[in-house]
Structure 1
């Protein structure tokens, strides 16, 4: 039992002098929040890459034994590294600024007053006020409790809230679900769970990303191919070039450089970074970078009604008395109920705005719980003891009563309806509600968010199904959804009648779109049932009752004005509280993933034809047809430069699983066709004894470029004006490089298109190869690609 002196300290909190003393002693909660990698880590991560290591070694070989013009590919290392560092630093600044805006701010008692601080401002022994939805930011002990219940599921996995009394321990990372109280901070800074959890929650990483893992798998396979390919090329070049090891090494470098899909990893990082920055400008905080990829895969959005489709604020429309009760007296009761709750929810706050506090003495309270769906209080009033409960009519009353029917009729019109009942005994969580006497319906008007209809229409157009999952009355939720033209909203489902087993629940979810009277545990079960059916689920919400579902969903989206607990577990936080931001978030994710898959086709096509050329030329034992600068020219004009534009273009195609398999289906045929056409042209040109070695090599360059640019033209579909300009600019630049003897012209690239027979051969073979590429893409898209893979070529 706390002493009177201790209670005074609890009410007063620490003094300014005591706070200063603890700050001087280092007893603060000032743990730097990491919203991204440090500058040093960013530089190291962009410099020390597998790609830079491979290309760097090849560049060093050219610097020693070759012409600097053949080492142009080496400058890609510098350019790629600089772009990656600059983009991530920009993203870092945006993310750190947004993280500060979205952080939880505990209310601390100092010198008898309650002040709101950043978590870093808490010191040892601070007294922190607690209420529903508050995140516990430091470890501590309960010093005051009034129906205090804490959810520790983030720490223990136990979903049931834990009832806390004075003297019980609290761990940072948990959050308050019901009731109010206060804690004394006993562990702060690095000693508390908060330091560990904050770092894990805010670290930006690409782990568990199918896209990133797929690219790394491809790079590893290529890495294993490089050594045998290098040995084969050197052996072949020594056989054809004699004992000139310098020429053999240059040929080896020319063969190996294009095998590495340079820029693909870079473009992936840039696309993610640009996505984060773009969303940041829309006041959207991305707490985990893979969330952007996850958004591209979402096909079901589970949206809470309150705070998502409707605004948090409500207005008391009317009080409808029953049984001769006086409305003025009932408004006094409602005012007393609101005054008895130090942290009223949105409904009770709306009631309190229109019903003044009569000043009655509170003798007992039961705070609102989303599981009970009611709150209540007992009073000593001028008329004697009074015991009142305010809650959901369908919870407080049995079926088919006149009052229940009246409530359902009002709720069917989209109004939020509460029931005020009087009980005979002091209110208690376990009170027998069968003795409750209905006194009045309390009707609240909900304001539908003006952007909700447009957002739902966007999801419908993008083949994303929206499920409205709410704790409110099913008919009331259905009326709101119907006004927004949500499909099947005219058949709302009462969640209390849903089957408990997962299969039955999943069937009900597949058939319905509006669900009312959903408990927090049911929301979680619904997310799991949808995931079991193969859906990728995003969950939106702003209340404490949404936390468990947000945590289990593939993507959790919280409103910035929601409880700190929801913001802590969500991957995406809409700081502007606008549901209309969500389409931009989903579109950004689809743009990133769709475009990376698009450009991956280009990079891996080059990898396939490069491997084919290295093996074919090595086995045929002829001089390698290209100098490194030739492949730099072709790669830049057909892949490198266009890929930067394609990676940032609009794209609304929903991403699907199987990234590596699907990309290889598209890249392998076109790469093999390009490689075979190039070898064919080169052998035919070598058979023409009137052509010089440079003219023979030029014929191979022309064929490979034309086939590669056709692959670019296919992947770039559907066309827009800027894509046509991009392709035409590529063709114009290559024509300049191959024919004009001026600045960066044919002399620089060592090309000669003056031999008509070999050039004609190159053009004919290229046309045939382009037709084969078109057939291959058509078959993949219309045949093998039908179903899950369809549409990925013709975006």
Structure 2
């Protein structure tokens, strides 16, 4: 829009200059000669007005901005996203791995003992080290002290040791992740998903039921020890079938068969090992585990026991921000017999429809619940504070349990801290609640909620649509899965995780190499800085070009000789101005850039006030350039010292009359005056560039030396200008001449006031901003 407006203005000015001078056509010898002369002036005016270097500088600025973003782990895939980032008003972020470290560690294990008592173990240590200890906490409501538990669990003996050993089997077999030890760095790292990696580590810490074998583990190398329990379980069991995780049932299961010899010795057959969301798993459990001389048996699971376990899950989630998984098994042989288990396996292998999976995960035996922590990233809390200051609203969108999500959000400051576990229904919305809402209720929820829990990918898409369509928000949405692709595509800025699927990365506008929420905020800050820099070099180029237009226009209007010729204007626009304009792309962001409200996507790059500033500075540039040109003719001690009347009647110059006044008519073709005008124009533009490091901050407060490249670019531009002044070859091309000390003094006298003018305009801009801020803060709030 600004380009179209600028083109129309240039066209009107060029025509106006030509028409205004119709009366002067005959003064150039003939009407045709005059028309041609002022047509060339109009062309020169167009050359002066058009910022030829602007497209290249804009592209360079965007490219440099994306390079800086990549260094901060934000990889921009589409350049328009850079502009949108600076406009972002809402960030919809995943929790796991984005707000948190995605380094899960099991901290609690809840077991159902005899008489339906809930036993709780505190697991010591975080990270991926396979060695650890535990503490058996006192039963709620009973006196007693905590008991230290030394792993492996085989040393414990009894029902507790056997139950923990079976949990370890489920944790390592119903699992697609693995832990490996890197010999070069002497550290552990996970292969696969964080939740499953935490279960694998827990299994290695618990050990196997054979105490002698566990003792041998301690003699193994680090690389072998980290998968010792997994190896032992795979020597005992083989996987027959797997039912992958699905969002509707929120569970995963593996059917295992004992290897030859194991069934006879253990008197067991096939088992279905299951892990998943506690509320789903516990509701489908019918039995609890007990042992008879180490042989697993099952007993009826009462409704009261289910309630106790669910209460423990709620305690883990709300008080300790633990993500909980229930562990269960289905004793296929005990339920169906040796002949029936084969049919069960065949039916399970034949099941292709995800909706059929839940039928196999029924009548299960509950083993326990594990609670794992995914700690928040340290930098997230500060990033959230920056978002609040910048007017960017953050919404957490997660598939986790609402209590766990709320606890994490309290830890990072997104939800208010509270001694109560109750959650404000306006701040926390679940996927089920969203589905039950009317359109009007959804719009209100999208406006007020800060956390959406237990959501599906379709809910993400619906949330983006509600925010965009009805609230006019500029939305950044994160995602990593194939099912997240529609929401990523719909969002103004789709943000994919570097660890996510190729589909998610393909449809996104930006990829986070480190999956970190703080990187999104850094990208928003960088987007704002890039836009601010674009405004600054546009301001620099346009105000300079307006000065050139004024110069051409005034000389034509006042009947003066040409001050600047087209080749000089091209040199200034493409070379002299181009270097500082490009250097302005490296401006550091303003200190208060994340204290400003987001701009609108439809906001003009150049608003009315900014255009007024362009005009004021540009007008002075034009007046100073023409003033220096006139000074050379009328006041320069080595110049012709002619009168104004003689200067404006140069087309009617008579050699005889001129000599009476002490000059020759050839003085009007002398390069001195034009060189003065060109040098003043270049000098003012260098000062203008130095004052463009910040849009509204004073040069004294925001020093140009904060951008060393700009200092270098201005210095190089002045060197290049000196070349065309003092090298004879370039004198002939650009019709310039060398300047002496008196002329340079006049150049500085005409040029320096532009700094004062711009400082005054910046002061007015700061006053306007502060007044607008006071008006907003004093405006009464409405519910």
Q: TM-score per shorter chain, which class?
A: 0.5 to 0.7
Hey, what does 1:671 align to over in structure 2?
Answer: 615
Cα distance in 2 for residues equivalent to 1:520 and 1:727: 50
Cα distance in 2 for residues equivalent to 1:269 and 1:739: 29
Q: Is the 8 A contact 1:321 1:440 kept in 2?
A: yes
Matches within 5 A, 1:391-410: 391-396=276-281, 401-410=307-316
Hey, what does 1:8 align to over in structure 2?
Answer: none
Hey, what does 2:538 align to over in structure 1?
Answer: 600
Hey, what does 2:94 align to over in structure 1?
Answer: 304
Matches within 5 A, 1:231-310: 238-242=25-29, 251-281=41-71, 284-310=74-100
Question: SS at 1:468's partner residue?
Answer: strand
Cα distance in 2 for residues equivalent to 1:489 and 1:657: 35
Matches within 5 A, 1:518-597: 518-532=455-469, 533-544=471-482, 546-579=484-517, 581-597=519-535
Hey, what does 1:332 align to over in structure 2?
Answer: 166
- How many equivalent residue pairs? 575
Hey, what does 1:720 align to over in structure 2?
Answer: 703
Cα distance in 2 for residues equivalent to 1:573 and 1:677: 44
Cα distance in 1 for residues equivalent to 2:748 and 2:514: 58
Deviation of the 1:263 alpha carbon: 1.5
Query: 1:217-241: per-residue Cα shift (whole Å, max 9, x none)?
Result: 4575478558747865996885554
1:319 corresponds to 2:120: no
Question: SS at 2:400's partner residue?
Answer: coil
Query: 1:236-258: per-residue Cα shift (whole Å, max 9, x none)?
Result: 88555445689657644532222
Cα distance in 1 for residues equivalent to 2:690 and 2:763: 14
Deviation of the 1:411 alpha carbon: 1.3
Query: Which of the two has higher C-alpha Rg?
Result: 2
Hey, what does 1:88 align to over in structure 2?
Answer: none
Distance 1:392 1:755, change over 3 A: closer
| Larger RCO (alpha carbons 8 Å, 6+ apart) | 2
Query: 1:355-405: per-residue Cα shift (whole Å, max 9, x none)?
Result: 454756778754212343223456678556766653223445689932222
Distance 1:487 1:460, change over 3 A: farther
Deviation of the 1:600 alpha carbon: 0.8
Deviation of the 1:550 alpha carbon: 2.4
Distance 1:436 1:616, change over 3 A: farther
* 545-554 vs 744-753, which moves further: 744-753
* 534-543 vs 277-286, which moves further: 277-286
Distance 1:781 1:709, change over 3 A: farther
**For 1:513, which of 439, 447, 450 is the aligned residue?**
450
Q: Is the 8 A contact 1:590 1:655 kept in 2?
A: no
Distance 1:774 1:552, change over 3 A: same
Cα distance in 2 for residues equivalent to 1:755 and 1:249: 36
Hey, what does 1:144 align to over in structure 2?
Answer: none
Question: SS at 1:261's partner residue?
Answer: coil
**For 1:472, which of 394, 400, 409 is the aligned residue?**
400
Q: Is the 8 A contact 2:170 2:274 kept in 1?
A: no
Deviation of the 1:538 alpha carbon: 1.8
Tell me the TM-score normalised to structure 2 length. Answer: 0.60
Question: SS at 1:403's partner residue?
Answer: helix
* 599-608 vs 485-494, which moves further: 485-494
**For 2:409, which of 460, 466, 481 is the aligned residue?**
481
Cα distance in 2 for residues equivalent to 1:544 and 1:586: 25
Deviation of the 1:761 alpha carbon: 12
Query: 1:461-513: per-residue Cα shift (whole Å, max 9, x none)?
Result: 55433322211122222322333344536556242445734554454444443
Distance 1:393 1:731, change over 3 A: closer
Q: Is the 8 A contact 1:309 1:448 kept in 2?
A: yes
Unaligned runs of 5+ in 2: 117-158, 178-191, 204-229, 259-266, 284-302, 337-343, 349-355, 635-641, 648-666, 776-783
Query: 1:61-109: per-residue Cα shift (whole Å, max 9, x none)?
Result: xxxxxxxxxxxxxxxxxxxxxxxxxxxxxxxxxxxxxxxxxxxxxxxxx
Deviation of the 1:452 alpha carbon: 4.0
Q: Is the 8 A contact 2:66 2:76 kept in 1?
A: yes
Question: SS at 1:475's partner residue?
Answer: helix
Deviation of the 1:265 alpha carbon: 0.8
Distance 1:762 1:365, change over 3 A: closer
Deviation of the 1:549 alpha carbon: 2.9
